[in-house]
Amino acid sequence: MHVHSSFSGGESSLEQLASMAKQLGYRGICFTAYPISKREESILKAEIERVKKEAGIEILLGFEARNIKELKFLAKRRGEFDVLLARGGDLKLNREACETPEVDILTHPEFERLDSGLDHVSVKFAAKNNVAIEVNFREILISNKKTRSMILKNMSRNVKLAKKYHATIIICSGGISHYELRDPKVLISFANQLGLELKEAKEAISKTPESIVKKIKERRSENFIIPGVKVIE
């Protein structure tokens, strides 16, 4: 889940990413884009449907907000796409994302920061609103010796906070190229090194995405009103 294709600054086509994901054993993948025009969105949705049939793998469409304005805009359009992500790194956006029930994933909250980007207040909101905190493997993949230890420390702190306050954790390759996708076992091992128990690490790459898919189906139900509220017949 959570990869960028050539539609959104990535280096690989939808076909290449979907094919590699299937080879690695994934049952589904989320193509993530930044807010685009209605025309471009229609083209992307059509491409996703085509590739989904050809590759034989479930493909979700996600939009990633880069600032609070985009987040509010996408939250209002929540029923028009599958997954809502917030691009972590900015403290204000991190906090806003955790406080927004429409958000599914806060991506790499420690991105380009000296600290972890989260505190106990934000993580409590994330737990309350069912916003998953992402562990993004690409951050480590492209890091150098100088920054790697700091990134690992900040990721570990976020994992610790999420566990303490019962917030959901999700592990993603975060790749912008099909060469950057990683075997699920590699990601599980990585999460284990950050402080997740083996069972927790497995759930972060299986159970968490499954729960997001479940939320998608609930949102599209005729009985859905707002997050946490639905009509019971």
Distance of CA 46 to the CA centre of its chain: 22
What is residue 224's predicted lDDT score, i.e. its pLDDT? Answer: 53
Q: What values do phi and psi take at 83, rounded to 5?
A: -125, 135
Local structure of 225: helix, strand or coil: strand
Q: Which segments within 145-228 are labelled E, that is strand?
A: 169-172, 224-226
Q: How many domains does the chain have?
A: 1
pLDDT, tens digit, for every residue of 117-126? 999 999 999 9
For the chain, what percentages of helix, strand and coil (3-state, to nearest 5) are there? 50, 15, 35
Tokens of 4: 């960028």
Is residue 18 included in any domain, yes or no? no
In terms of residue numbers, what domain contains 95? 63-230
The widest CA-to-CA distance across the chain, in whole angstroms, is 58
What is residue 232's predicted lDDT score, i.e. its pLDDT? Answer: 58
What is residue 106's predicted lDDT score, i.e. its pLDDT? Answer: 98
Residue with the two structure tokens 């128990």: 197
pLDDT, tens digit, for every residue of 120-150? 999 999 999 999 999 999 999 999 988 999 9
Q: Report the alpha-carbon distance of residue 14 to residue 31 in Å, rounded.
A: 8
Is residue 107 included in any domain, yes or no? yes
Q: Which residues of the chain have pLDDT under 50?
A: none
Is residue 73 included in any domain, yes or no? yes
Is residue 117 included in any domain, yes or no? yes
What is residue 10's predicted lDDT score, i.e. its pLDDT? Answer: 81
What is residue 222's predicted lDDT score, i.e. its pLDDT? Answer: 63
Is residue 150 included in any domain, yes or no? yes
Bridge partners for 170 per DSSP: 134
Is residue 22 included in any domain, yes or no? no
Q: What is the CATH number of the domain that holds 187?
A: 3.20.20.140
Is residue 39 included in any domain, yes or no? no
